Each structure stands twice: as C-alpha cells, then as structure tokens.
Structure 1
Amino acid sequence: MELNKAVIDCMRVLRRRLRDEMSEDIHLNQPDAIEAMLHACQRSADAETRALGVHLAEISDYQAASKQANARQYRGHETAAPASAAPQAPSEDAQRGHSVRMYRGQRVYN
C-alpha cells in the first residue's frame, strides 16, 4: 500500500484523537497501523473519530488491500478463488460421470 501525504496527515490526526479519547498508542511505523486505527475508530463513541476512520479507509484503499490480504494460502502458496467467487465449468471427469476428489494433492476418482 502506498502512503501519501493525505494518508499520513489523516493518520496523524486520528492517532492524536485515539490517544486522547481511548488511550490507544498506535505508532505510524507499525506494519498494521492503519488496520489498528480503523478498528479503534469503530469502537469510538465520537462520531467525528468514526468519520475520520471512514475517510482513512477510503483514501488508503484499505478494502482492496484487505481483500488481497485475505487471499487463502496453503503452506505459503495461494489457493484458487473460493467457489462462491467465480462459477467454474464442470471438469471433464465430472461431465463423464466420474466423481473427483482431492486427497493430499492427489486426484481420487470414485
């Protein structure tokens, strides 16, 4: 994720507000600083702090970054997209009437 002046300025304002309001001490050099700030903003009772959190999420493109971070991994390798995300055509074996399962990385025909 790219940190530009607008994102850093918003993070500074939020950091001060969260420190005063909730005693949250979030450092800007933390790898998960934006995520920690957004979670703290959701718990905040102040509407302006919550609005600043929404603004930070918009300008930092947090939703796109979180979708990439939530990609499923198996032993360090990205797996295919979940079935609900993209419909897949039936495989050649499934069209022939065979049931195919995966067991420890191997195809098992039933």
Structure 2
Amino acid sequence: MELNKEVLDCMKTLRRRLREELAVDIRLSQPDAVSAMLDGSLKSNDEETRRVGRRLAELSDQPQRLTATPLAAVELPVAPQTGSVRIYRGQRIYA
C-alpha cells in the first residue's frame, strides 16, 4: 500500500475520531494501524466515522472490509440453561 497525502489525511482523521469516540489509541507507526482503524470504524455507531473508514478501505485496497458486519449485529449462540448458573469474571458458567 502506498502512503500518500490523501491516505495519511484519512488515517489522521479516522484516528482522531476513534480516539474521541471509542478511546482507542492507534499510532500511525504501528504495522497494523490501517487494519486497527478499519476494525474501530466498524465498531463505531457514528455514521461519519464509518464513512471515513470506508474511504480508508478504498484507499488502502482493502475492499473486503467494506462489507464486514459490525459486532453489534452478530448474534451469539446461547448455551442451554440447564442446571445452575454461576457468574465468573463476567461470564456465565453453566454447571
């Protein structure tokens, strides 16, 4: 991926928005900075942040990220509730 002015400006904008909205600190020097920013934009509830994330995906040649499903829309399987239930470190433990 080529880092030109347009890509860097998009990364800076998205980085600033993610820091304000999700309290995520991403450094531009990180080897996985682009993928971390794209993941953060998918978790965002702000449409402008998601739009900037889509633009970064287009510029960085990662179009498969554009169609990824946000985590909030994924249904998690629920274990059957038989027997007793304990809470351990915030997780349900079925005994």
Does the TM-score normalized on the shorter chain lie above 0.5?
yes
Q: Please, what TM-score do these two structures have when normalized by structure 2?
A: 0.65
Q: Which has the higher contact order (CA 8 A, sep 6+)?
A: 2
Quote the sequence identity (%).
57
Any unmatched runs of 5+ in structure 1? 67-110
Aligned-residue offset at 1:61? 1.0
Residue 16 (structure 1) aligns with: 16
State the SS of the aligned residue for 1:25.
coil
Any unmatched runs of 5+ in structure 2? 66-95
After superposition, the CA RMSD in angstroms is 1.6
Q: Please, what TM-score do these two structures have when normalized by structure 1?
A: 0.56
In the alignment, the residues of structure 1 paired with residue 21 and residue 31 of structure 2 have an alpha-carbon distance, to the nearest angstrom, of 23
Structure showing greater radius of gyration is 1
CA shift digits 1:39-60 (9 cap, x unpaired): 0000000000001000000011
State the SS of the aligned residue for 2:18.
helix
Residue 52 (structure 1) aligns with: 52
